[in-house]
């Protein structure tokens, strides 16, 4: 008759070793770290804005670019708020994820532009398509072009050409669908 695994271990191992194993089952252990909320004083050091983070994305991105905390009234924060507000209607991601992806791109590329310039440039690529784009995918295309030797302006030009082929409905300056409603069919 087979001896159960725990009974066999109990006979062979001293109790001090078994105590940590007592709660173990056959399922794999999961290590879940509690969510971390970034305070504005830590914004420059944080690598990522978490889903539950309440830090203003513009403030966080400005602090990362500066390498130290910046005041909420800083000109860079204002420029980033404007860029994020302009970008939001044209991308599926929210401001937090746009800020996260922008920080990634800036870390990946030597000589990357200021965050507000990058966001505005990529928004100018997405807006004419008339469709909400994936900011992360657009960032990856941008990184690929820059890694292949294109400068910022050339990369944006190539992206505009590529994304222009998508076409789409006319949009107003806020990204809302600006098409006129179709006329109802004429009665017979």
Total structural domains within the chain: 1
Residue 85 placed within a domain: yes
Contact between 111 and 154 under an 8 Å Cβ cutoff? The reply is no
With 70 as the cut, is the pLDDT of residue 129 above it? Answer: yes
Considering the chain, what percentage of its residues have pLDDT values greater than 70?
64
Residue 150 placed within a domain: yes
- CB-count exposure of residue 123 (10 Å: 0-12, 13-18, 19+): buried
Residue 187 placed within a domain: no
d(CA 116, CA 47): 18
Residue 169 placed within a domain: no
Residue 138 placed within a domain: yes
Residue 133 has what DSSP assignment? Answer: B
Domain membership of residue 137 as a residue range: 36-164
Q: pTM of the predicted model, to two decimals? A: 0.67
With 90 as the cut, is the pLDDT of residue 76 above it? Answer: yes
Average pLDDT rounded to a whole number, residues 104-122: 96
């Amino acid at each position: 008759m087979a001896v159960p695994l725990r009974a066999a271990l109990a006979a062979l191992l001293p109790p001090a070793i078994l105590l940590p194993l007592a709660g173990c089952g056959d399922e794999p252990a999961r290590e879940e770290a509690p969510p971390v909320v970034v305070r504005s004083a830590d914004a420059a050091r944080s690598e990522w804005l978490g889903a539950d983070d309440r830090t203003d994305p513009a403030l966080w991105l400005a602090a990362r670019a500066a390498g130290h905390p910046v005041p909420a009234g800083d000109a860079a924060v204002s420029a980033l708020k404007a860029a994020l507000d302009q970008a939001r209607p044209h991308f599926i991601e929210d401001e937090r994820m746009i800020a996260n992806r922008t920080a990634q791109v800036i870390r990946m590329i030597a000589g990357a532009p200021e965050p507000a310039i990058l966001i505005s440039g990529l928004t100018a690529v997405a807006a004419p398509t008339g469709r909400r784009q994936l900011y992360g995918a657009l960032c990856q295309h941008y990184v690929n072009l820059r890694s292949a030797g294109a400068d910022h302006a050339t990369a944006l030009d190539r992206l505009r050409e590529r994304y222009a082929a998508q076409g789409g409905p006319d949009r107003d300056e806020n990204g809302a669908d600006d098409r006129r409603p179709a006329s109802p069919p004429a009665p017979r």
